Amino acid sequence: MAVLPIHCYEHEALRRAADPITDIDDEIRRLAADMRETMLAFEGLGLAAPQVGVSRRLFILHHNLLPEAEEPRVFINPELEPAGEPYIDREGCLSLPELYGRVKRHSRVTLRAVDLEGRKLELELALLAARAAQHEFDHLEGVMFVDHLAKGQRMLLRGRLKQLAARTAQGWLRRLEDEQRK
């Protein structure tokens, strides 16, 4: 298992719709294991495959968000059914280091997916867990949280977004060893 580098705004992997997974093979199992290590090392609550540069429909969520989970859970080819009142809360993203914004999300969702064994999953999630599922699902559609921000907020972040996009365009990736050196 390995901690992978995080691909940041505006890497092209983050800006296209990811491909469905037709075969849960060794490559997918290795990807999921590496993503788990990566999410825990970077202290994220979730991670989607495009964030490690892989354009496949898979994300993981931290066990702290989920009922009766002791390990991060893997969601393959997920589908979301939103419910509940929309509400606004603060959001961040490993692909947008040190940037935060207030994003409107549904307060509840039904998350359907398959796991690494190909078993069907269906979870009812609320509040922070529902928010994280919507955030990770967005990554599979090429959407990032800053796309949802109100115009005024986006304006405030504009300079830092531009800077980040420029670093990414030069080939920069967010690596754990660089952050540990800080």
**Interaction site with Zn ion (CB under 5 A):** 93
Which of 27, 91, 136, 179 is labelled catalytic? 136
- Closer CB to Zn ion, 24 or 95, in the complex: 95
70 is catalytic: no
Q: In angstroms, give the least distance from the CB of 25 to Zn ion.
A: 26
CB nearer Zn ion, residue 93 or residue 129: 93
- 79/147 with CB nearer Zn ion: 147
Sheet containing strand 73-91, edge to edge, reads: 46-48, 58-61, 73-91, 101-114, 120-126
Q: How far is it, in rounded angstroms, from Cα 43 to Cα 126?
A: 21
Q: How far is the CB of 139 from Zn ion (least distance, A)?
A: 6
Least Å from the CB of residue 23 to Zn ion: 26
Residue 161: exposure state from Cβ atoms within 10 A (0-12, 13-18, ≥19): middle
| Residue number with CB closer to Zn ion (25 or 64) | 64
Closest chain position to Zn ion (CB): 93
Min. distance of Cβ 147 from Zn ion in angstroms? 11
User: Which residues have a catalytic role annotated?
Assistant: 136
